[in-house]
Amino acid sequence: MPDTLIETDFADLKLYARGKVRDLYNVSDQLLLVATDRISAFDHVLGTGIPDKGRVLTQISLFWFRLLESIVPNHLITANVDEYPEELQRHADALRGRSMLVANAQMFPVECVVRGYLSGSGWKDYQATGDVCGISLPKGLKESDRLPEPLFTPATKSADGEHDENISFAQMESRVGKQTAAKLRDLSLQIYALASQYAEGRGLILADTKFEFGRTPRGIILADEVLTPDSSRYWPRDTYNPGGPQQSFDKQFVRDYLESIRWNKQAPAPSLPENVVERTREKYLEAFRLLTGHNRLE
């Protein structure tokens, strides 16, 4: 199995932030995003990484950034390590395939969530209230049913280790302004429509996803990661059967294992056994192959 990169340590670079998965560095007026192999569950970063996960996330995001350019520009400057500034070249081997040099955008303080199917927290909300994030739905829907139309349900953008919370569209307007909120909603729904149609053609259902946007001098841009198994819920189309949970191309093996050992979901997070690591890695690689049509990571 390939080596696992849990954390970068580039002492000669200025660390900007560490997220649950990505390490960010300042490079002049740009940012270097490095996707590590860390994996989180229940809002905790686990002690064991998933080999190749950072490469999968980066290369799926790059694929979608190219595909979505007709809808919205993105923050990517280059992911070709040979084009990186001189000060990054000594780290070329560590960065290749898992990093992006991006524009430093002013990020909007919301997650832009689109739900096309009734699953996850949306299903729990519907069971309790008959609504999803305050949006009324028909009675009698089953878990994993396709929604009458995709729903835009914004959420707070959590600080590291905290949990995102759903907010109303009015609350989003108060955070970013009415005009910007409408623009982000419309962009999110446009992206979801294109992406779900594309995924369908690749044998996948895009059940739901979340986007992050920022602003630069050239306007609103799509940023961070996009339509990866970390930010999106993908199901295989050929086994889709509403009325319960579906098979998924994400970290479900990890969640299932943690539930099976009755972890109390408090720090410290446990490590993972080898079989869970390998099965999760295979799911990420399968998602990469199906979405991009490529068999090998860079």
Read off the pLDDT of residues 197-214 as tens digits, 9 standing for 90 and up. 999 999 999 999 999 999
In angstroms, rounded to a whole number, what is the distance separating the alpha carbons of residues 289 and 298? Answer: 12
Fold of domain 107-239: D-amino Acid Aminotransferase; Chain A, domain 1 (3.30.470)
Q: What is the mean pLDDT of residues 233-258?
A: 92
C-alpha triplet 80, 60, 70: angle, nearest 5°: 85
Residue 87 has pLDDT above 80, yes or no: yes
pLDDT for position 126: 96
Confidence of residue 1 (pLDDT cuts 50, 70, 90): confident
In angstroms, rounded to a whole number, what is the distance separating the alpha carbons of residues 72 and 66? Answer: 10
Identify the architecture of domain 1-104 in CATH: 2-Layer Sandwich (3.30)
Q: What is the pLDDT of residues 14-56, one digit of tens each?
A: 999 999 999 999 999 999 999 999 999 888 999 899 999 999 9
Q: Comparing 1-104 with 107-239, is the CATH topology the same?
A: no
Residue 161 has pLDDT above 60, yes or no: no
Q: What is the pLDDT of residues 165-190, one digit of tens each?
A: 899 999 999 999 999 999 999 999 99
Give the global pTM. Answer: 0.95
Q: Regarding predicted confidence, which is higher, 178 or 157?
A: 178
| Whole-number percent of the chain with pLDDT over 90 | 88
Mean pLDDT (the chain, rounded): 94
In angstroms, rounded to a whole number, what is the distance separating the alpha carbons of residues 68 and 223? Answer: 12
Q: What is the mean pLDDT of residues 77-102?
A: 97
Is the backbone of residue 62 left (phi > 0), alpha (psi -120 to 50) or beta? alpha
Q: What is the pLDDT of residues 107-153, one digit of tens each?
A: 999 999 999 999 999 999 999 999 999 999 999 999 999 999 999 99
Q: Where are the domains of the chain?
A: 1-104, 107-239
C-alpha triplet 221, 227, 231: angle, nearest 5°: 100
Q: What is the mean pLDDT of residues 216-244?
A: 96
pLDDT for position 250: 81
Closest CA to 32 of 103, 126, 136, 112: 103
Distances (CA, A) of 147 to 124, 128, 154: 15, 17, 17
Confidence of residue 255 (pLDDT cuts 50, 70, 90): confident
Residue type, 162: E
